[in-house]
Structures are given as structure tokens and as C-alpha cells.
């Protein structure tokens, strides 16, 4: 029973912290009028698509090559580390591919 209380308290603290972090980012749009949520979901679909969406799609040269092409590699690219990293960066309106 004690472990249950510890887990519940941990979840409450986690969600309280994430709610506080979300309150600092009032806008749901990135510069350029693109939706943060849409960019995040595009990146969940495939690494790099969210960043490409934030750059207004455009020509192939706007595609983040390190994320998009590495996303085809099983285990490393999708689903996994690269997908999560891409979604997180798209949600924060980061479009650099470093």
C-alpha cells in the first residue's frame, strides 16, 4: 500500500511539473503560424516531418536529412529515440538538424 502512495505522489508531482512547464509556453503556435501540436504529430508519424512542416514544407532541401533518412533504419530510427527527439524538438519549434 505504501508503494501505491509513493507512485501516486510521484505522478502528481510529474503532472504538476509538466503543467507548470506548459503554462510558460502560452502560444500553441510556432513563429510562422504553424501549430506546435501538428508538428509534434507529424514527427511521431516519421522523424523529421514535423520540422519540415514548420519550415513550410517547401523543396526537398528543407527536409531535415539527419532525422528523416535515419528514420528508415529499424530500431534506431522508428519507433525509438529519433522519433521521440524529433517530436520533442518540433513541439518546441526547433527546426535545426544538429
Give per-residue pLDDT as tens, 31-61: 888 899 999 999 888 888 888 888 888 788 7
Report d(CA 1, CA 85) in Å as an integer.
36
Strand-pair partners of 35? 29
- Judged by average pLDDT, the poorest of 19-23, 24-28, 32-36, 77-81 is 19-23
- Give yes or no for residue 5 having a pLDDT over 80: no
- The pLDDT of residue 20 is 46
Is the model's pTM score more than 0.75? no
Amino acid at each position: 500500500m505504501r508503494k501505491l502512495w509513493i507512485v501516486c505522489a510521484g505522478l502528481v508531482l510529474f503532472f504538476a511539473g509538466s503543467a507548470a512547464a506548459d503554462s510558460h509556453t502560452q502560444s500553441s503556435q510556432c513563429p510562422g503560424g504553424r501549430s506546435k501540436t501538428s508538428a509534434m504529430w507529424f514527427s511521431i508519424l516519421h522523424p523529421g516531418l514535423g520540422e519540415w512542416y514548420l519550415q513550410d514544407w517547401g523543396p526537398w532541401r528543407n527536409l531535415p536529412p539527419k532525422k528523416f533518412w535515419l528514420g528508415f533504419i529499424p530500431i534506431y530510427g522508428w519507433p525509438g529515440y529519433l522519433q521521440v527527439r524529433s517530436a520533442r524538438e518540433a513541439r518546441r519549434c526547433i527546426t535545426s538538424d544538429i
